[in-house]
Chain A
């Protein structure tokens, strides 16, 4: 179907070059399947069942159960993002700077790619099989050492159980993102700092960490949103009873609970607000920290 090469550009009446028409399919898709659905929820959060404007839905979020769900979700996301960043950073730094054999690097990155995508239902199964009531480690500790995890207060189907499970995809994600950033730290910077009299700690505090700060922050925000929206792992691990926001919303959508459908909008709206806030915080801090970038 060869046609003649396009001549001088046509123009839309509004003065918008016709080139923008090329974005039409993408824009239509984004509007229909990302933006409108989100708008629907934002608007719905401020609508009474009869369609009139109201703050009642948001006010209705202020119950003990919902407040605690949000709080647990935020704590969970924050903790897994923080630990994920810290541990992932440690592992990446061990490989990049710690003098480990070069051969480790490739497999580690490949494995991280796999593990960061091994989330959801099967991940829950893997941890149940390992740390659940009859899991590999649980049994091993009980049979070999007489240690009863349950009696020690550990329960996989709890906040800390969830933290440990979520780390399985959070840490690799951090490794994937931060390794290139660590590679970007020039050897000369460390050496220049050293001859100027700086200790290793001073170099990290005054040079390396400030340079890495945007990447660290961005990854943290990403990990936070990642954990905050995760449903499948928690659901497969604990069923509908665990009180975190995505599970509550899941149950709400399924129609299992709560009479007021608009409360679901409010719940979802709250999730958007929190992940958006985390990201705005990130963008704001990043802009502040990147004055020195081109």
Chain B
């Protein structure tokens, strides 16, 4: 039994089934991200955990306690919102102390805890300020301190970084992750930014239309997506149609060239046409020794992005995108140029439907 359990959660708004049979176990101290497109139900799941929405069916337990019917203020949960939801009429210190005050913690203890939290978020001098005197990033850090001050059992973050500018977003997410690891607090983080989810999560839940499509570590999700939706949503993908030659050995052919791919579906038979996918970084420019197949391709577009150059090309009837490292002594190809692309079957992801 995990620390935080969501079992068979369902949420229906009117006619609209927004969350469907959502089951997830989260270990103590784990950092989980809910990742998915807008409207897929991430916030709704989080709000059910917080207690703002009652699940239509299903149950939520924390540390063995069934909290499904509990009001939000009895769940001992911390939450950070997208808009800075600091109380504007209270100072930073009073904001951080709020949860302790309503719990009836003594004044001295409160002050000590506030000081500790402000030091933790790196704003030790700001206690006397009002929220409007802080930048957005500082406000969100105070919101984090406020959420953590009462020592919640679970921390919920609903796109806490999306209102911030890019630089602050990156530094704050690393800070959040560091503090989370430090305190060992069980955390659910909602985002629709896949890079954000990849970089800080222990595990990612990719959601699609109210369903948890795939749950796994970032490496796993990225390299072994189990559905086409996940593969497409996480990272860029090049898909090719291949025909099965020998299902037992995983042998297929792509544009007449033989490949050995991992994990052909059980029912595959010789002659079936299947989609396989390759990440941009699995495609290499030029003839690489050890590559299983080399395809001729026509360059369509060149995006110079600094250390990496992203190329768009057409090969074997498919449009594909690939990355190559910038090298000062080697100018990138130009559009219209014919090049060769090397690839190997072991990098391919075989997509289920």
A and B touch in the complex (CB under 8 A): yes
Task: Please list the residues of chain A having a beta carbon within 8 angstroms of any beta carbon in chain B.
Answer: 186, 188-189, 191-199, 202, 206-207, 210-211, 291-294
Chain B nearest CB: distance from A65 CB in Å? 46
Instruction: Assess the B81–A191 pair: CB atoms within 8 A.
Output: yes
CB 8 Å contact bits of B73-88 with A (1 = contact, 0 = none): 1111111010101111
Given contacts A193-B98, A195-B73, A195-B75, contact A211 B88 (CB under 8 A): yes
CA distance A199 to B72 in the complex (A): 9
Chain A contacts for B86, CB-based, 8 A: 192
Instruction: Assess the B102–A191 pair: CB atoms within 8 A.
Output: no
Instruction: Assess the B102–A198 pair: CB atoms within 8 A.
Output: yes
Chain A contacts for B131, CB-based, 8 A: 292
Is B89 positioned at the interface, with any CB of A under 8 Å from its CB?
yes
Tell me the B69-113 residues at the A interface (CB within 8 Å).
71-79, 81, 83, 85-91, 98-99, 101-103
Instruction: Assess the B90–A188 pair: CB atoms within 8 A.
Output: no
A189, A291, A292, A294: residue with the most chain B Cβ atoms closer than 10 Å: A292
Task: Count B interface residues, CB 8 Å.
Answer: 35
CA distance A100 to B51 in the complex (A): 22
Is B348 positioned at the interface, with any CB of A under 8 Å from its CB?
no
Is B22 positioned at the interface, with any CB of A under 8 Å from its CB?
no
Given contacts A198-B73, A292-B132, contact A189 B85 (CB under 8 A): yes
Instruction: Assess the B87–A192 pair: CB atoms within 8 A.
Output: yes
Is B11 positioned at the interface, with any CB of A under 8 Å from its CB?
no
- Besides A191-B72, A194-B52, A292-B132, 7 other CB < 8 A contacts? A188-B85, A192-B79, A206-B87, A206-B98, A206-B102, A292-B91, A292-B131
Instruction: Assess the A186–B103 pair: CB atoms within 8 A.
Output: no
CA distance A173 to B250 in the complex (A): 78
Chain B contacts for A293, CB-based, 8 A: 88, 132
Instruction: Assess the B130–A291 pair: CB atoms within 8 A.
Output: yes
Closest partner residue, chain B, to A188 (CB atom):
B85
Is B279 positioned at the interface, with any CB of A under 8 Å from its CB?
no
Is B50 positioned at the interface, with any CB of A under 8 Å from its CB?
yes
Chain B contacts for A291, CB-based, 8 A: 130
Given contacts A195-B50, A211-B89, A292-B88, contact A188 B83 (CB under 8 A): yes
Given contacts A195-B79, A197-B103, contact A294 B85 (CB under 8 A): no
Of B72, B88, B130, which contacts A195 at CB under 8 A? B72
B85, B103, B143: residue with the most chain A Cβ atoms closer than 10 Å: B85
Chain A contacts for B146, CB-based, 8 A: 192, 196
Instruction: Assess the B89–A192 pair: CB atoms within 8 A.
Output: no
Instruction: Assess the A196–B99 pair: CB atoms within 8 A.
Output: yes
Of B77, B89, B156, which contacts A207 at CB under 8 A? B89
CA distance A211 to B130 in the complex (A): 13
Is B41 positioned at the interface, with any CB of A under 8 Å from its CB?
no
CA distance A186 to B131 in the complex (A): 15
Closest partner residue, chain A, to B76 (CB atom):
A197
CA distance A192 to B83 in the complex (A): 11
Is B150 positioned at the interface, with any CB of A under 8 Å from its CB?
yes
List 27 A-B residue pairs with CB atoms under 8 Å apart, sorted by A's residue number: A186-B85, A189-B85, A191-B79, A192-B87, A193-B87, A194-B52, A194-B71, A194-B73, A195-B50, A195-B51, A195-B79, A195-B152, A196-B99, A196-B102, A197-B74, A197-B103, A197-B150, A198-B73, A199-B73, A206-B102, A207-B90, A211-B89, A292-B88, A292-B89, A292-B90, A292-B132, A293-B88
Tell me the B144-161 residues at the A interface (CB within 8 Å).
146-147, 150, 152, 156
Closest partner residue, chain A, to B80 (CB atom):
A192
Chain B contacts for A189, CB-based, 8 A: 85, 87
Chain A nearest CB: distance from B82 CB in Å? 8
Chain B contacts for A294, CB-based, 8 A: 132
Instruction: Assess the B85–A192 pair: CB atoms within 8 A.
Output: yes
Chain A contacts for B130, CB-based, 8 A: 291-292
CA distance A199 to B52 in the complex (A): 14
